[in-house]
Chains A and B, each alone.
Chain A
């Protein structure tokens, strides 16, 4: 039966491969243009914006960027401090809260979990004005802490960790630790957390990238350019001083995209698997 319709399958396959290859090209092509144009000068780009041959003006473009408002190093440093700290907080406290939900039989356990599921979908940016005024009152604007500390309460993180623990945390192990006289907190830190490594890694990637890419809250809270995160640096490239610096803009973009490229292509297997688990959001 399979042989009979195989010619149809060949044609079908050709179509499927062509479409997939075109889509893959569509995904990568804008970035290819970016990578090539970052090596070209403004006159070259004005002559022909689309070229597949790199030029030699990479260093010139670096010099054009130097001393202007866009500063990739400061942006990178700020973003890294915020994202790394926020990720650590999300991971630790999501795991701890999930542990509370899994390992102990307490009265409020079910209502608490129901509550977490209920608030999981509500995006933080919708209540940004109240958050801003709250932070303004306590003098926390232009400070990284309001972008870091709230990561302690990540409902989606708790949900994800709980699902993972439900399947893979042997409760007998906790019992054994108790018999050996371990304190509950010690058991969580030394036995449960190491067991959660795969889930922590998956959740960690997404928490980090979400925090790294965030634009709304940093835009509201960080007004001094010394505190700008990478996305805030990027939006400066829309400014007039970059209007005709085509090559330099592409170079600046590359600086913001490259770290994510490296992370993505080295961890793509885990990232795709993480997305497939569904509902994994920072």
Chain B
């Protein structure tokens, strides 16, 4: 026992050595830029290529300006709007498909192929998808317009790219289309992680499919559902690629998300780095809060698993000790 402890101390330094590259890279490329961005929020930094700045006499001016900026407020509303319109159908469809795919009585065939198809849009470059859908919703000639006209739904081609009412929903639809497969796969793996004995017990008790799903599957999926919700919210708050490439926040700021707003403030027009930094930090605070929820959630799960493993280990040890008459210590 003594010998082993001495050994682990002598090797402990390698734990530090091997973490150095990660820590150094993190400090330089993640922590420093974060602090830098936070600081810039209190300065007058602006102008392309201008890296000289002074701290403002009124440190919170940028934050006040941003919070009272109509475009920023609109961008936050847009972001939430697009996220909600995409997330609700996404989680409902993913849950429905999860119920079908994991139901022992339906035994859906070709699940592997379906999963591959549903997940496909998620892996394709979002910028390419944005351009593809821009072409599909093209005006006056685009497949969607062609279809709508052939089916007699509209008389004349719809100018989607100038239509404020539909732009947000088109972006939300693309987000939905890209992400429901991912959500479904996560949920299915969550269901497969539930103790099968619970399902067996339910079957013996004569529970119907619907009962099993609502009374057993859903409550046991709580943690995973929360994980999906929080990660999707964080991703949604950063929604950038589709609205930027497809409509550049337009038409008439209808798809101006928080990230597109920040980008356009900082890297276009008059290059208002300071103001964009203040906006970044406001979004950052929200994301940190969400991450915190996630972190507490996952830490508990991890610790719970470790405790379980330790208990199992102790049980086995006890058994071994009993069977070998205390020889194994």
Q: Write the residues of chain A forming the contact surface with B, with a CB cutoff of 8 angstroms.
A: 2, 9, 12-13, 16-17, 20, 23-24, 26-28, 30-31, 33-34, 45-46, 48-50, 93-94, 96-97, 99-101, 103-109, 112, 114, 117-134, 136-137, 146, 149-150, 152-153, 155, 158, 178, 184, 188, 209, 212-213, 215-216, 219-220, 230-232, 234-235, 237-238, 246, 249-250, 253, 256-257, 260-261, 263-265, 268-269, 271-272, 275-279
Contact = CB atoms under 8 A, between A and B. Distances in A.
Name the residue among B16, B23, B128, B132 with the largest chain A CB count within 10 angstroms.
Answer: B128
A275 B235 CA distance: 16
Contacts of B40: 129-130, 133
B135 A249 contact: yes
Given A16-B106, A99-B18, A121-B231, A24 B114 contact: yes
A49 B19 contact: no
Nearest to B109: A17
A9 B106 contact: yes
B161 to A, nearest CB: 10
A48 B132 contact: no
A30 B29 contact: no
B125 A212 contact: yes
Given A24-B117, A104-B15, A30 B26 contact: no
Nearest to A269: B112
Given A104-B15, A129-B273, A27 B143 contact: no
A126 B238 contact: yes
Contact of B37 (A34, A112, A129, A216): A129
B14 A238 contact: no
Interface string B119-141: 11101111110111111101001
B119 A216 contact: no
Nearest to A25: B117
Interface in B77-110: 97, 100, 105-106, 108, 110
B14 A104 contact: yes
A60 B57 CA distance: 61
Nearest to B116: A268
Name the residue among A99, A126, A153 with the largest chain B CB count within 10 angstroms.
Answer: A126
Contacts of B245: 215, 234-235, 238
A111 to B, nearest CB: 11
B295 interface: yes
Given A49-B143, A249-B131, 17 more contacts: A31-B132, A49-B141, A97-B18, A101-B15, A101-B19, A118-B295, A128-B33, A129-B266, A130-B35, A130-B277, A155-B26, A158-B22, A212-B125, A213-B126, A230-B127, A238-B131, A253-B132
Contacts of A94: 22
- Per DSSP, are chain B's interface residues mostly helix, strand or loop, or mixed? helix
27 contacts: A2-B105, A23-B114, A27-B120, A27-B121, A31-B132, A33-B136, A93-B25, A94-B22, A97-B18, A100-B17, A108-B16, A121-B234, A121-B287, A126-B287, A128-B33, A129-B37, A133-B45, A149-B25, A152-B22, A215-B126, A230-B125, A231-B126, A235-B130, A268-B116, A271-B119, A275-B182, A276-B186
B255 interface: no
A33 B123 CA distance: 18
Contact of B22 (A96, A136, A235): A96
A215 B259 CA distance: 12
Interface string B166-186: 000000000001000110011
Given A253-B131, A268-B116, A133 B287 contact: no
B251 to A, nearest CB: 14
Closest 5 CB pairs of A and B: A130-B36, A130-B37, A104-B15, A106-B15, A100-B18
B189 A260 contact: no
- Per DSSP, are chain A's interface residues mostly helix, strand or loop, or mixed? helix
Interface residues of B, number: 106
A237 B131 contact: yes
Nearest to A259: B125
B244 A122 contact: no
B186 A133 contact: no
Contact of B238 (A109, A125, A137, A184): A125
Given A27-B117, A96-B21, A216 B263 contact: yes
Contacts of A271: 119, 123
Contact of A49 (B12, B124, B146): B146
Given A133-B45, A215-B241, A153 B22 contact: yes
Contacts of A16: 100, 106, 108
Interface in B277-306: 277, 280, 283-284, 287-288, 290-292, 294-295, 298-299
B12 A114 contact: no
Contacts of A30: 132-133, 136
Contacts of B290: 121
B115 interface: yes
Contacts of B105: 2, 9
A129 B277 contact: yes
